């Protein structure tokens, strides 16, 4: 692609690849009133114009307090209702409600059977804590005919959508390399339920990158992985990971994460794609100085060109990508789109990749014999 027409082609392509949105947004009933709801779900839905009509949480008054903070405009001029149980919220829910299930992974399988048969539901990732739990969740969704998606929202981050647009416009040529690096300091104490979690980094963080890579390349042949603990937070499970995904001898795909790097000047958080025609790099700013974060960025380089060029990014992973995951589910239910890329069947395949990574880590490498 010539340098002169990259910007024009990019602008046209990014407009065409924006996240799907329903023509008539459906009311949302949120099950769970934790930090992710306050920080990402509610701001995203307000920005997208998706009405939230109710929030439920088992902790006394937690949902009521959060509901009281939400402007009437977010609920279509009405007060957002707060409930102290899923059952009460389900009884209140309008017939066309979409349920937003934002609870720890261990609670998903117990809540799904309480939803109406055939209901639309967005499930917070991960899809259970193990592949066995993911299998049980998948079976519940099948048996109850749920139109269920899992909130792998990084696919809909504005800078990833921009990267997809650049690739569709021919920027990369033949893609042969994807590299993910996250070297930062993550305050794991913000999520109290992770203190005793037997699995941490891959299941609750790198799962996003594994799902993103699947969205670009499909399923790998296999995975080589090692996830290790950090002596600076010795009470936690593994928080540092190295993974190689096997896509054959012509593609290198790696994920490298270190969540204990408290040296700000050398922190990084990016996904980089390289092809025969050029390269694309996006930075996930939310990982840097979390939870305040920094702006997301996107840039490209044309092979044989003079360097990297920044391209505009409207919004960020948190909270904007959450508009995409809810938007595509609602658009699918409405019939405006025919595919649900983050549907539970696809999400199960991401969970299978996570499980394979843990099995690889436990198995260890090839012994060195001298």
pLDDT below 70 — which residues of the chain?
1-17
User: Does the predicted TM-score (pTM) go above 0.85?
Assistant: yes
* Shared domain check, 256 and 202: yes
349 in a domain, yes or no?
no
* Shared domain check, 258 and 207: yes
* Shared domain check, 262 and 132: no
* Shared domain check, 295 and 244: yes
- CA triplet 370, 222, 245: central angle to 5 degrees? 85
* Shared domain check, 270 and 175: yes
Residues 370, 367: Cα–Cα separation, whole Å = 10
- Is 295 within 8 Å of 279 (Cβ atoms)? no
Residues 79, 73: Cα–Cα separation, whole Å = 9
332 in a domain, yes or no?
yes
Residue 124 is part of which domain span?
Answer: 18-151+323-339
pLDDT at 354: 98
The total number of structural domains that make up the chain: 2
SS3 310: strand
| DSSP letter string, 185-222 | B--GGG-GGGGG-S--HIIIIIHHHHHHHHHHH---SE
Instruction: Calculate helix-pair angle for 207-217, 344-363, nearest 10 degrees.
Output: 120
3 in a domain, yes or no?
no
pLDDT at 291: 85
pLDDT at 3: 42
5 in a domain, yes or no?
no
274 phi, psi to nearest 5 deg:
-130, 135
* Shared domain check, 53 and 144: yes
58 in a domain, yes or no?
yes
* Shared domain check, 270 and 127: no
pLDDT at 370: 87
Reading across the β-sheet that carries 120-123, which strands appear in turn?
81-83, 52-56, 28-31, 98-101, 120-123, 147-150
* Shared domain check, 270 and 256: yes
pLDDT at 19: 79
* Shared domain check, 185 and 269: yes
């Amino acid at each position: 692609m010539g340098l002169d027409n990259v910007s024009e082609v990019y602008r046209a392509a990014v407009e065409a690849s924006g996240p799907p949105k329903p023509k008539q947004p459906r009311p949302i009933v949120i099950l769970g009133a934790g930090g992710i709801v306050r920080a990402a779900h509610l701001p995203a839905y307000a920005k997208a114009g998706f009405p939230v009509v109710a929030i439920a949480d088992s902790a006394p008054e937690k949902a009521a307090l959060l509901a009281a903070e939400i402007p009437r405009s977010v609920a279509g001029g009405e007060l957002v209702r707060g409930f102290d149980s899923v059952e009460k919220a389900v009884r209140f829910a309008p017939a066309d409600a979409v349920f937003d299930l934002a609870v720890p992974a261990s609670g998903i399988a117990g809540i799904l059977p309480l939803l109406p048969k055939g209901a639309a539901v967005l499930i917070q990732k991960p899809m259970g804590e193990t592949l066995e739990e993911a299998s049980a969740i998948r079976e519940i969704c099948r048996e109850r005919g749920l139109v269920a998606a899992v909130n792998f929202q990084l696919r809909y981050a504005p800078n990833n959508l921009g990267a997809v647009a650049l690739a569709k416009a021919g920027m990369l040529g033949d893609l042969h390399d994807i590299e993910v690096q996250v070297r930062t300091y993550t305050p794991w104490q913000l999520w109290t339920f992770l203190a005793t979690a037997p699995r941490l980094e891959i299941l609750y963080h790198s799962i996003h990158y594994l799902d993103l890579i699947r969205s670009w390349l499909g399923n790998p042949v296999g995975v080589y992985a090692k996830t290790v603990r950090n002596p600076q937070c010795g009470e936690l499970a593994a928080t540092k990971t190295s993974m190689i995904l096997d896509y054959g001898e012509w593609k290198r795909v790696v994920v490298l994460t270190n969540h204990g790097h408290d040296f700000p000047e050398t922190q990084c958080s990016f996904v980089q794609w390289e092809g025969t025609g050029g390269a694309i790099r996006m930075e996930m700013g939310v990982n840097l100085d979390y939870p305040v974060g920094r702006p997301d960025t996107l840039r490209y380089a044309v092979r044989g060109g003079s360097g990297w060029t920044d391209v505009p990014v409207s919004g960020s992973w948190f909270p904007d990508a959450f508009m995409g995951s809810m938007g595509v589910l609602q658009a699918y239910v409405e019939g405006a789109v025919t595919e649900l890329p983050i549907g539970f069947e696809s999400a199960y395949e991401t969970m299978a990749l996570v499980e394979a990574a843990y099995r690889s880590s436990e198995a260890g490498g090839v012994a060195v014999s001298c």
